[in-house]
């Protein structure tokens, strides 16, 4: 065999080996890319959860969100990583929390209470936001309309039956028509509820005596000033008022004044009664909406704001006894009875 032929065969052999080696390298690179992509797909998604302040209604809402998401397969520490944050009533803290969620590249944000959803909506127009314990999304100016939000915000409303709350107090007082209420005018959710309460009071010929507070420190003076002018109180689901419920009850209980709240936490704290949504179920409802978004089933812009139907009052029997109140039998028959504080 000539030297030229031998060198030709050797070159062909080397070329084939080079092609095979390159193919192997390409295949390895391709497979590595697939592994990397798969690993990224399996990585937990970041989910931010923020509440404006610490009180039982909002805590129950957050608990419902986490439990509801776990039931849908988005369990913390597995498919999802939840970053649970509390602003403790501070607007600048809310802004920092929103920035934190954006920097974490969160796939979804749950915003609990009106100030929280407003702050998150200002912070990002890209990340889907599901609100909960928000009275009116349209009044809060975070959606175009409750039927078709049109942006990155949707959620569940905690609007309660305000007129029914007033009717409940009137039944407890035997029809006495001097009713007190306090609220934070800085919370749009409270303003919406108070507008409804004023309208209901006017329809029923009730004298509504109001006081505004900007913080828990204002509550004691407001209630003290009103206690001799009213026959009972109706409270909106106001974050300041709910946070200061213990302060309110220190005045209303010795004065033998019945109180009707818009949340179950206030009943557990010692309010006489409530007509209210179930905040834990509200959180689970929000979780279903959030899971649908993560799973690509629905888009926030097209998801109608959801509500919860409220039919039964809750009566705190021990609280009624503490103010020497005999609850009408017909009211007891159709109520959820609470025998705690």
64 in a domain, yes or no? yes
Same domain for 289 and 316, yes or no, is no
**Domain ranges, residue 330:** 162-276+311-338
pLDDT at 41: 54
pLDDT at 106: 98
Tens digit of pLDDT for each residue in 266-312? 999 999 999 989 999 999 999 999 999 999 999 999 999 999 988 89
Average pLDDT across the chain, whole number: 89
132 in a domain, yes or no? yes
Tens digit of pLDDT for each residue in 194-230? 999 999 999 999 999 999 999 999 999 999 999 999 9
d(CA 223, CA 237): 17
Same domain for 77 and 226, yes or no, is no
pLDDT at 25: 37
Same domain for 257 and 183, yes or no, is yes
The length of the chain is 341
Nearest CA to 314 out of 339, 336, 281 is that of 336
Measured between alpha carbons, how far is residue 92 from residues 58, 112, 115, 285, 315 in Å? Answer: 19, 16, 11, 28, 38
Phi and psi based region of residue 270 (left: phi greater than 0; alpha: psi -120 to 50; beta: remaining): left
Same domain for 173 and 317, yes or no, is yes
d(CA 278, CA 209): 28
Tens digit of pLDDT for each residue in 139-195? 999 999 999 999 999 999 999 899 999 999 999 999 999 999 999 999 999 999 999
291 in a domain, yes or no? yes
Nearest CA to 155 out of 178, 175, 138 is that of 138
8 in a domain, yes or no? no
235 in a domain, yes or no? yes
Same domain for 170 and 271, yes or no, is yes
d(CA 341, CA 326): 17
Give how many domains the chain has, as a whole number. 2
CA 135 to chain centre: 10
pLDDT at 261: 96
- Tell me what the mean pLDDT of segment 220-249 comes to: 96
pLDDT at 33: 38
Same domain for 188 and 115, yes or no, is no
CA atoms within 13 A on the CB side of 321: 8
Same domain for 173 and 267, yes or no, is yes
Q: State the pTM of this model.
A: 0.78
Same domain for 183 and 271, yes or no, is yes
CATH number of the domain residue 185 falls in: 3.40.50.2300
Same domain for 253 and 115, yes or no, is no
């Amino acid at each position: 065999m000539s030297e030229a032929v031998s060198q030709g065969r050797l070159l062909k052999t080397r070329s084939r080996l080079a092609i095979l080696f390159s193919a192997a390298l390409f295949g390895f690179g391709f497979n590595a890319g697939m592994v990397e992509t798969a690993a990224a797909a399996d990585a937990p998604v970041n989910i931010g959860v923020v509440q404006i302040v610490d009180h039982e209604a909002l805590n129950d809402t957050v608990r419902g969100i986490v439990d509801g998401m776990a039931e849908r397969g988005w369990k913390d520490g597995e498919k999802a990583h939840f970053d649970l944050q509390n602003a403790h009533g501070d607007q600048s803290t809310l802004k920092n929390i929103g920035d934190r969620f954006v920097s974490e590249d969160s796939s979804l944000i749950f915003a609990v209470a009106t100030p929280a959803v407003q702050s998150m909506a200002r912070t990002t127009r890209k990340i889907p936001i599901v609100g909960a314990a928000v009275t009116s999304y349209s009044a809060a100016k975070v959606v175009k309309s409750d039927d078709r939000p049109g942006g990155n915000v949707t959620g569940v409303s905690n609007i309660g039956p305000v007129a029914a709350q007033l009717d409940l107090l009137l039944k407890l007082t035997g029809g006495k028509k001097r009713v007190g209420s306090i609220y934070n005018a800085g919370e749009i959710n409270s303003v919406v509820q108070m507008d409804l309460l004023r309208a209901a009071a006017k329809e029923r010929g009730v004298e509504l005596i109001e006081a505004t507070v900007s913080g828990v420190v204002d509550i004691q003076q407001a209630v003290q000033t009103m206690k001799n002018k009213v026959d009972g109180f109706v409270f909106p689901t106001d974050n300041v008022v709910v946070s200061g419920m213990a302060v309110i009850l220190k005045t209303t209980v010795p004065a033998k004044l019945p109180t009707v709240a818009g949340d179950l936490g206030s009943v557990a704290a010692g309010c006489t009664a409530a007509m209210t949504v179930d905040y834990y179920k509200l959180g689970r409802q929000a979780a279903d909406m959030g899971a649908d978004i993560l799973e690509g089933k629905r888009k926030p812009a097209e998801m109608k704001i959801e509500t919860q139907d409220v039919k039964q009052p809750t009566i705190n029997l021990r609280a009624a006894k503490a103010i020497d109140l005999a609850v009408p039998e017909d009211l007891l028959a159709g109520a959820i009875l609470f025998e705690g504080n």
